Homo-oligomer: A and B are copies of this chain.
């Protein structure tokens, strides 16, 4: 496996691919002020010198800027994809051009190649792992336990990865510290509200050629994502209707000025339905039967189980692609129900989707980069197991972003610090 070929040995027109890859990375970097600022700092201070970072992530332009940032900080980086369909070969080739980076990521590899590429990364004997779905952590623990002693720690980007790591941790099977990058405020408060909200609506508009003004938009779930979708839809002059199962969230939505009602009622009047619950079967037969001709059904939750497509297929007398990215289900009475992006995340799976907005990934990857630095600097202070990212790192990323955008804010005076402190201590 040590001789698994890097991407540069696999693409046809390497120069052209690298040009395209750099062009994509340039655009992303131009709009990633956090990573740009960190990169400048890392270049100057070389915090990662002597470290080897193994990565398995979606190899596209935004991730590439993170990879480059770590490499510029002195790390040797070896990377492969975490999903064979998300790799951009041109970006992979551009990365591989960097003297400190070896990229094995290639689009549409088969299963065998996929795991060979992971082993190729591991063959670099990483001291730090960065995962998007814990592929590296799993492979190392299973097949290369001899490497664990020299690993200072890892970072995990996804919800699913964090859950599996926590399960390992509870079983005492996780042998080095891993940061749960997924759970930080800098991700949750921005990615979900602004990133999911804006990109879901833009994808729907550009897939359907329809407008939002005056539409009844039913938002299922009023968590962070639901809040974002509701707020942005309202900001496009839609009439927002919220469905919820938790009464305090329902009350929050009601007090925000939205209509709140059960899905069985909302089904009768909605023009567009957007699910954000994280649960299954949010929209089912009993709802489909009440819907108007021409409604749009889209999902902004993680899995494609929120709109029950089996139910819908059963009800349909006819199906067809009404447009690219829009599947029309014709009911017996002639009504047409239109499902976007096969009920998968509409901002990722629609045909024109570009993934999360650049700025949002800049924040998440900023936390990644700071977490890697923390492992290098203080990794020995963390026990094996899953750890939350230290609050001051998260806060630091906010500081960098504000600084990069030229947004200034206040400092507490010593007197104010004391006043707040005394208050908190009850004097």
* A420 lies within 8 A of chain B by Cβ: yes
User: Would A199 and B185 count as touching, CB distance under 8 A?
Assistant: no
User: Would A419 and B27 count as touching, CB distance under 8 A?
Assistant: no
Nearest residue (CB) in B for A419 is B280
User: Would A323 and B205 count as touching, CB distance under 8 A?
Assistant: no
User: Would B211 and A419 count as touching, CB distance under 8 A?
Assistant: no
- Looking at A147-155, A235-243, A377-385, the stretch in contact with chain B turns out to be A235-243
User: Would B250 and A398 count as touching, CB distance under 8 A?
Assistant: yes
Cα–Cα distance between A322 and B240 once the two chains are bound (Å): 35
Chain A, residues 258-300, CB within 8 Å of chain B (1/0): the string is: 1111110100000000000011110000000000011000000
* A411 lies within 8 A of chain B by Cβ: yes
Q: A198-B211, A211-B359, A426-B164 are in contact. Are A257 and B281 (CB under 8 A)?
A: no
User: Would A360 and B211 count as touching, CB distance under 8 A?
Assistant: yes
User: Would B212 and A198 count as touching, CB distance under 8 A?
Assistant: yes
Cα–Cα distance between A263 and B257 once the two chains are bound (Å): 20
**What is the copy number of this chain in the assembly?**
4
Q: A320-B23, A415-B281 are in contact. Are A358 and B202 (CB under 8 A)?
A: no
List of B residues within 8 angstroms of A212 by Cβ:
198
List of B residues within 8 angstroms of A326 by Cβ:
27
Q: A206-B202, A214-B255 are in contact. Are A261 and B23 (CB under 8 A)?
A: no
Nearest residue (CB) in B for A363 is B251
* A190 lies within 8 A of chain B by Cβ: yes
Enumerate 17 A-B pairs (CB-CB under 8 Å) in ascending A order: A23-B321, A23-B322, A27-B209, A28-B209, A30-B293, A194-B211, A194-B213, A201-B202, A213-B255, A213-B257, A214-B256, A214-B257, A234-B235, A248-B394, A260-B407, A262-B409, A281-B413
Cα–Cα distance between A410 and B201 once the two chains are bound (Å): 24
List of B residues within 8 angstroms of A163 by Cβ:
423, 426
Q: A206-B203, A209-B357, A352-B206 are in contact. Are A257 and B237 (CB under 8 A)?
A: yes
Cα–Cα distance between A205 and B353 once the two chains are bound (Å): 11
User: Would A27 and B211 count as touching, CB distance under 8 A?
Assistant: no
Cα–Cα distance between A256 and B215 once the two chains are bound (Å): 9
User: Would A214 and B245 count as touching, CB distance under 8 A?
Assistant: no
Expressed in whole angstroms, the minimum distance between the Cβ of A316 and any Cβ of chain B is 16
User: Would A409 and B261 count as touching, CB distance under 8 A?
Assistant: yes
Cα–Cα distance between A398 and B281 once the two chains are bound (Å): 25
Candidates B203, B239, B245, B419; contact of A279 at CB < 8 Å: B419
List of B residues within 8 angstroms of A355 by Cβ:
209
Chain A, residues 328-358, CB within 8 Å of chain B (1/0): the string is: 0000000010000000000000001011011
User: Would A398 and B31 count as touching, CB distance under 8 A?
Assistant: no
Cα–Cα distance between A163 and B427 once the two chains are bound (Å): 8
List of B residues within 8 angstroms of A211 by Cβ:
194-195, 198-199, 357-360
* A244 lies within 8 A of chain B by Cβ: yes
Q: A194-B213, A336-B30, A410-B244 are in contact. Are A206 and B398 (CB under 8 A)?
A: no
Which of A189, A199, A210 has most chain B Cβ within 10 Å? A210
Cα–Cα distance between A214 and B265 once the two chains are bound (Å): 19
Cα–Cα distance between A354 and B323 once the two chains are bound (Å): 12
Expressed in whole angstroms, the minimum distance between the Cβ of A52 and any Cβ of chain B is 30
Cα–Cα distance between A258 and B258 once the two chains are bound (Å): 10
List of B residues within 8 angstroms of A279 by Cβ:
412, 416, 419-420
* A183 lies within 8 A of chain B by Cβ: no
List of B residues within 8 angstroms of A280 by Cβ:
415-416, 419
Nearest residue (CB) in B for A250 is B409
User: Would A237 and B194 count as touching, CB distance under 8 A?
Assistant: yes
Add 13 more A-B contacts to A195-B211, A213-B256 (CB < 8 A). A27-B209, A167-B426, A186-B248, A189-B252, A190-B252, A198-B205, A213-B257, A213-B359, A214-B256, A245-B411, A278-B423, A279-B420, A305-B419
Nearest residue (CB) in B for A357 is B211
User: Would B213 and A239 count as touching, CB distance under 8 A?
Assistant: no
User: Would B258 and A239 count as touching, CB distance under 8 A?
Assistant: yes
* A399 lies within 8 A of chain B by Cβ: yes
